């Protein structure tokens, strides 16, 4: 078992209605209760309109599952049409937030600056944050993987709030953009190379204790067919799973591999 433990995190994106959420969690409950994992956790980032439904179901049935939101604004309130604040999430029992997913960066104008603002705000308000980093196919082909990751991580390691939170309330998901939803997965060697770079970067910028305590998840077409080999890499501490988290069969297969 990895010293940092393993985190299996699902990202449902814009999928599953409330009835689907209840059906999924109903099927998941006996699996988690009958196959507890020492030093391992399961989390699902659920669409905003189903968050309260999920929290009530998890609480009522005592399901050992963390419920997270896929994004959160950096202000507590204000004229930000369509946004959700941390206090709104906390009011319904949600304390986990995903920040900086590649789709937020590519499709909705998220930048390193706004990722930092969202992360700092969430941490200041007591939430736990998983920040996504990763390069595009063009950037990888140009040999810019490390420089892209460094630029994304620099913002996080230069801020006092985030520096103190790494390894406790702040963790990282490496998602090669070219492997998200494409069916193409970074090889274990490619994934390990990126994860080792991230951990070494944290070591240099903050220190070895923080680097060793920080979970770094791999996200990019994770399936039951490749998850075990990815988990075998020394610096991969779990998965941020998209498509395979939507079906109870593949999701529970992933859990069984931990």
Q: Which of 55-59, 131-135, 182-186, 235-239 has the lowest mean pLDDT?
A: 182-186
Position 166 in a domain: yes
* Rounded Cα–Cα distance for residues 210 and 64 (Å): 27
* Rounded Cα–Cα distance for residues 199 and 169 (Å): 16
Band (1; pLDDT cuts 50, 70, 90): low
Position 1 in a domain: no
**From 103, 110, 135, 175, active-site residue:** 175
Give yes or no: 95 in active site: no
How do residues 200-256 score in pLDDT, each as one tens digit? Answer: 999 999 999 999 999 999 999 999 999 999 999 999 999 999 999 999 999 999 999
Q: How much is the pTM?
A: 0.96
Position 227 in a domain: yes
* Rounded Cα–Cα distance for residues 240 and 258 (Å): 14
Predicted pLDDT of residue 214: 98
How do residues 25-45 score in pLDDT, each as one tens digit? Answer: 999 999 999 988 888 999 999
Position 135 in a domain: yes
Q: Which domain holds residue 35?
A: 6-256
Q: What is the mean pLDDT of residues 98-109?
A: 96
Domain total in the chain: 1
Give yes or no: 195 in active site: no
Beta bridge partners of 241: 10
**From 16, 73, 95, 101, active-site residue:** 101
């Amino acid at each position: 078992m990895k010293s940092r433990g393993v985190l299996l995190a699902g990202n449902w994106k814009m999928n599953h209605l409330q009835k689907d959420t209840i059906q999924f969690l109903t099927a998941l409950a006996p699996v988690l209760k009958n196959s507890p994992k020492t030093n391992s956790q399961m989390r699902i980032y659920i669409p905003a309109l189903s968050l309260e439904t999920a929290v009530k179901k998890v609480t009522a049935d005592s399901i050992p599952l963390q419920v997270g939101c896929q994004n959160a604004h950096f202000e507590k309130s204000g004229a930000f049409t369509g946004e959700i604040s941390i206090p709104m999430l906390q009011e319904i029992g949600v304390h986990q937030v995903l920040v900086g997913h590649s789709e937020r960066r590519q499709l909705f104008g998220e930048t390193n600056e706004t990722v930092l603002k969202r992360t700092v705000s969430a941490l200041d308000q007591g939430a736990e944050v998983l920040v996504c980093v990763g390069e595009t196919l063009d950037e990888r082909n140009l040999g810019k993987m490390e420089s892209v990751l460094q630029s994304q991580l620099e913002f996080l390691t230069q801020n006092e709030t985030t520096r103190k939170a790494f390894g406790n309330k702040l963790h990282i998901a490496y998602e090669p953009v070219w492997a998200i939803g494409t069916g193409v997965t970074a090889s274990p060697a490619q994934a390990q190379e990126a994860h080792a770079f991230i951990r070494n970067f944290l070591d240099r910028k903050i220190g070895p204790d923080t680097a060793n305590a920080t979970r770094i998840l791999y996200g990019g077409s994770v399936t039951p067919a490749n998850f075990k080999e990815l988990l075998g890499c020394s610096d991969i501490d779990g998965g941020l799973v998209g498509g395979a988290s939507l079906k109870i069969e593949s999701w529970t297969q992933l859990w069984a591999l931990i």
